[in-house]
With several copies, the nearest count.
Chain A
């Protein structure tokens, strides 16, 4: 199992979510975050001075998925979350050691 963390634009979230669902990737945990990438946010101009706005609202999606699905998920997020301009976001993949449900005591890793 892997934990895929995708940090994307809030305005792309609906699209990404729908696309993931269409491909059967349903389980996800979503957090409102702020972030900056290498561009150090957005540099507004103000009276000639640059006024950087370095923390921009983003949506963080965490999905625990089968190893085999990682590439699929990444390409869905990319396909639907992209505008091509800086700030589109990142995807990180982390190893997961085990997962389980709260609803039942049966561990059924295959489930999710």
Chain B
């Protein structure tokens, strides 16, 4: 098939939207930390974007999308983007490559939640390169690159497994290795700049349209379906979390935006398989579920600081399963429990659990390795002074 200018236009712009999400994560997270670590938090997201871009060009894309080797990993065929050209089927191969690059970048940015306010910049760079290579690239290959999961029939429209489960559970493992922030649980570490978090949330919501609708890889009805359910699930998640937290106290705007992200994370795998009414259920459940996951995490005294696990991990997990429940063949060719088919649910559960375990264990090992190698964490004095000054020599003068 030849290139289609409409599809190409669409995916080009969607890629730009997804690229904006990575700094979006930075601002979302940046508002949640203490003032002395805001710059650091945003900078980590830019570092993730930059590093992953180069890794992807050199070999990451090839590992994930190169010709399959035993269902496990891609070969080195596309190294240095060798053979990835501007022709293709509907859209150029090179465009698919860069669209996927944006996904790889944001996945790493999400993981920074776990190390907020205490990671050594140099250690993050080493960890990040290992993580994107050893965790992200294989998973992307399994699910999207023709690996075992794809072969089995496990589906993931826009990254519930590949991005949200992987990043969320990786963040959990990483948080366990790096340890709590000094003073965690002893004194308040309230978010210092909610408006910045809301700004990041707005950019994420906006970019997510590119993320999910773009995953149709064409400007067609499927993309429209994905777009619509994305917005519905975000709205449902926002209202659900707000409602759930209202019962216990004040409905914070942070809860509302967290719920939106929870809804977005959950609909991500399902966006090409379910319809608008299912999206309301998916988003609503995700909002409530992730809220309770967060409460659980806090009760356990776990310092997975900015809740990548509770929101992306749990939301993505639920969304992955939800395909097995709500999928309708007429939308994306897959049927779930409600359509009377049970098989997909089991497949989805298997995929979700396997990637969850792999991400958690793999990240744990990588994190321990990097910690042993060079120390993941800044000194206590540096942590006290804040990463903005200690890692970047900068501070906010406002």
Contact = CB atoms under 8 A, between A and B. Distances in A.
Asked if the two chains touch in their complex, CB atoms less than 8 Å apart, one says: yes
Interface of A: 11-12, 14-15, 42-46, 51, 53, 56-57
B3 interface: no
Contacts, number: 28
Contact of A46 (B186, B188, B250, B384): B250
A14 B381 CA distance: 22
28 contacts: A11-B183, A11-B186, A11-B187, A11-B188, A12-B187, A14-B187, A14-B188, A15-B187, A42-B381, A42-B384, A42-B385, A43-B381, A44-B379, A44-B381, A44-B382, A44-B385, A44-B389, A44-B390, A45-B379, A46-B249, A46-B250, A51-B393, A53-B385, A53-B389, A53-B390, A56-B384, A56-B385, A57-B36
Contacts of A56: 384-385
Contacts of B186: 11
Nearest to B188: A14
Interface of B: 36, 183, 186-188, 249-250, 379, 381-382, 384-385, 389-390, 393
Contacts of B188: 11, 14
A57 B192 CA distance: 14
Contacts of A42: 381, 384-385
Given A14-B187, A46-B249, 18 more contacts: A11-B183, A11-B187, A11-B188, A12-B187, A14-B188, A42-B381, A44-B379, A44-B389, A44-B390, A45-B379, A46-B250, A51-B393, A53-B385, A53-B389, A53-B390, A56-B384, A56-B385, A57-B36
A91 to B, nearest CB: 20
B35 to A, nearest CB: 8
A14 B393 CA distance: 17
B185 to A, nearest CB: 12
Contacts of B384: 42, 56
A43 B393 CA distance: 13
B50 to A, nearest CB: 23
A56 B385 CA distance: 7
Nearest to A15: B187
A47 to B, nearest CB: 8
Contacts of B390: 44, 53
A51 B250 CA distance: 11
A46 to B, nearest CB: 7
Contacts of A15: 187
B48 to A, nearest CB: 24
